[in-house]
Amino acid sequence: MNEIVNTTNAPAPIGPYSQAVIANGFLFMSGQVAINPSNGEIISSSVHEETHQVMRNIKAVLLEASYSFEDVVKTTIFLSDMSLFAEVNEVYGSYFESNFPARETVAVKGLPKGVNVEISMTAYKV
C-alpha cells in the first residue's frame, strides 16, 4: 500500500498530484519550485535564493516522511536555462554531506509559474 506524504511546510500541490508517495521504502517526491509555503509567494529575487527555497521545500517533505538528504538516491534538476547550472549546483551541493545521489540536470523550455528551477528527488530507506 502506498502512503501519501503531505506537509504544510512545503507548497501545496498545484494540480492532481501529491507532494510525495512512499512505496516499498522508496520516497518519490514531486518536483518542488521556489514557492514560500507560508504565503504562497514565489521567491525570485535571485537564482541563489530560488534554489535555497526549493531545497527548503524538499527538506520539509523529506522530514515529514521521516527521510533526510542522506537517504536521497536520485535527483532530477530542471532549469529554465543551462547558464544557471553552476549557481544552482553550488546551492544544491551544500545540502549534501557525502554519498551524493545520482542526478541529471536538464534545461527545459518552461517551468510552472515561470520559475527558473524545479527539483524532484527519490529517496530510499530500509
- pLDDT digits over 24-81, tens only? 999 999 999 999 999 999 999 999 999 999 999 999 999 999 999 999 999 999 999 9
**Backbone phi and psi for residue 9, each to the nearest 5 degrees, phi listed first:** -85, 5
Which residues does 31 contact at the CB level (< 8 Å), separation at least 6?
76, 78, 112, 118, 119, 120
DSSP state letters, 83-103: GGHHHHHHHHHTT--SSPPEE
- pTM to 2 decimal places: 0.96
pLDDT in tens, 5-26: 999 999 999 889 999 999 999 9
pLDDT band at residue 99 under the 50/70/90 scheme: confident
Residue 116 has pLDDT above 90, yes or no: yes
